[in-house]
Structure 1
Amino acid sequence: MKVIIIEDEKPSARRLGRMLSNLNIEAQAMLHSVKESVEWFRTNEHPDLILLDIQLSDGLSFEIFEEVTVNSAIIFTTAYDEYALKAFKLNSIDYLLKPIDDDELEIAIDKFKSNQPEKHDLMVDINQIKKLLVNPLEREYKRRFTIKVGQHLRVVDTDDIECFYSDHKATYCHTNQGKNYLMDFSLEQLDDKLDPLKFYRVNRKFLIQMNAITDIISYTNSRLQIKLNHYKEQEIIVSRERVKEFKNWLE
């Protein structure tokens, strides 16, 4: 099986390459920009599978497919979960959320191997995904949640929620009033329901609201620590692989 990696951050690309090696798969190439990728596809036999980051150093990776026709399967490697989950699900596309986990990579590769389509069917609906990624304002997002509290129902506006977090396989929201409520949704489901201009998933355990941030502190291993208005129960750390996208989101 021929695989290439398209990832603008070279340390992340090398790490992904090592993870593939552990699965006895050698990356045929590691590409880091739209321009480099277009040139490579024009002069090389296309692979069976592309591990593709969405945001590259010189633009969105979708621009590659505007220049060349690529008949390869794609597994997205992305920090854009809050934008992309709906598009991925609609197109039955696999994706790996950064920071990539070894077990999740193995599952995605095994899934590809067991469901390989015909070569001419490998391309996905890139235009549909691109539309949802670059035009998030066209989508409708949750403005409030109805939450069961004992025998009662409480309506909580999303603007009143500082963060969503997972704890012991359950998902909770933390409000501006310092209250924690059990949610009926997983963090993955909430990613698809919340406005990405307001909420960002900083790691596997936390979705935070921008307006709730009171401080951002440099942390060990090039990570960031987030302080919120009222939530104090656990440290909130932006994983190193998401620091760049987090800063872009803040802007």
Structure 2
Amino acid sequence: MLNVYILEDELNIVKYIWSILDEIPYVRIVGHSGEMAKAEQEIYEKSPNLILADIQLKDGVSFELLSRLNLDVHLLFITAYSQYAIEALNIGAIGYLTKPIDAICLTETIQKCFDKTQEFKFNQNQLLMADRHMKTPAIPQKIALKTFEFTQIINIDDIVYCLGDKGYTTFFMRSGDHLLVSKVLKHFEGMLPESQFIRCHQSYLINTHYIHKYYKDGQLEMQDGKLIPVSNRKRDIIAQYIDTLS
């Protein structure tokens, strides 16, 4: 029998996972919680073989709790984090599932856990390292852009600015080249590091490394000479960024 504990603070996801696990004959759900303090007590009491844990909970990051446990237990992470964050989590867990959770993937991973007894057990040091990473996540260095003809992998630092127009985004590069991608600007706003890129206008996402001048009339001049408008509601953000350089 595989005893499972669910650490998840979204009730609809808990119910969904529960309904899937109920169909697996060798699985028994021994408890669930969305709060780390309650979960810590119950996990020690119920001694599960497997913990299904969301990474970001309302009261903290689950690594903080899991790194304190001194139990022989499997871990399976449930997360809505980006691929970049997940790829950095080399912590020896049996695996991870991204939201929305696919029922087949969950079932197959549970079977994988049931089949293994020692290979995928985690250790405290790896969890502590992962916890530190989630608090200061690695910034992606490259991005893959799919055009109509090819997929090009570029260095994020080489992007000067992005222009969104009618469901498409054009990337303007330091080399002078540009790439047209059939995805909206908001998609890339979520992928590119916010510490480096600012959405200064509905149509523009700029790389702050290439700002050359900021005019009082609300325009940015990039290092390539391009003038980019700054919307009224974004002027404070640009001003705050410039103040950090003063």
TM range (shorter): 0.5 to 0.7
Matched-pair contact (CA < 8 Å) for 1:5–1:13 = yes
Match of 1:142 in 2: 141
Give yes or no for contact 1:3–1:29 (8 Å, CA) kept in 2.
yes
CA contact (8 A) 2:63 2:131 kept: yes
**Partners of 1:28 and 1:211 in 2: how far apart?**
46
Equivalent residue for 1:246?
A: none
Ranked by relative contact order (alpha carbons within 8 Å, sequence separation 6 or more), the top structure is 1
Deviations 1:83-128 (A, max 9, x none): 5322334636400001101011012112212232179x44462012
Size of the aligned set, in residue pairs, is: 185
Give the direction of change, closer, same or farther, for the CA distance of 1:161–1:46 in structure 2 (3 Å limit).
farther
Letter aligned with residue 26 of structure 1: R
Corresponding residue for 2:80? 79
Quote the residue 1:101 is aligned against: 102
Q: Summarize the alignment of residues 96-245 of structure 1 with structure 2, pairs less than 5 Å apart.
A: 96-117=97-118, 121-123=121-123, 125-136=126-137, 139-142=138-141, 157-158=158-159, 160=161, 174-176=169-171, 179-180=180-181, 195=192, 197=194, 211=199, 214=202
Q: Residue by residue, what CA displacement relative to the aligned partner does 1:182-208 show, whole Å, maximum 9, x if unpaired?
A: xxxxxxxx9xxx655479xxxxxxxxx
**What do you get for the CA RMSD once the two structures are aligned?**
4.1
Aligned to 1:2: 3
Whether contact under 8 Å (2:97, 2:106) holds in the other structure is yes
TM score, norm. by length of structure 2: 0.59
Please tell me whether the aligned partners of residues 8 and 31 of structure 1 are also in contact (alpha carbons under 8 angstroms). yes
Q: Is the 1:198–1:211 contact (alpha carbons within 8 Å) kept by the matching residues of 2?
A: no
Q: TM-score w.r.t. structure 1 length? A: 0.58
1:38 equivalent to 2:37? Answer no
Distance in 1 (alpha carbons) for counterparts of 2:193 and 2:117: 33
SS at 2:89 equivalent: helix
CA distance in 1, matches of 2:111, 2:193: 31
d(CA) in 1 for partners of 2:118, 2:30: 21
Instruction: Report sequence identity in percent.
Output: 22
One-letter amino acid of the structure 2 residue matched with residue 40 of structure 1: E
Provide structure 1 residue ranges, at least 5 long, that are not aligned to the other structure: 164-172, 182-189, 200-208, 215-227, 231-251
Tell me: CA distance 1:160–1:19, structure 2 relative to 1, closer, same or farther (3 Å): farther
Residues 28 and 158 (structure 1), Cα distance of their counterparts in 2 relative to 1, 3 Å cut:
farther
Tell me which amino acid in the other structure corresponds to 1:54: I
CA distance in 2, matches of 1:76, 1:210: 31
Alignment of 1:70 onto 2:58: no
**Structure whose CA Rg is larger:** 2
- Determine the C-alpha separation between the residues in 2 that align with 1:57 and 1:150: 43
**Quick one: distance in 2 between partners of 1:123 and 1:180?**
42
The verdict on how the C-alpha distance between 1:37 and 1:229 changes in structure 2, with shifts beyond 3 A counting, is same
Q: Which amino acid aligns with 1:141?
A: P
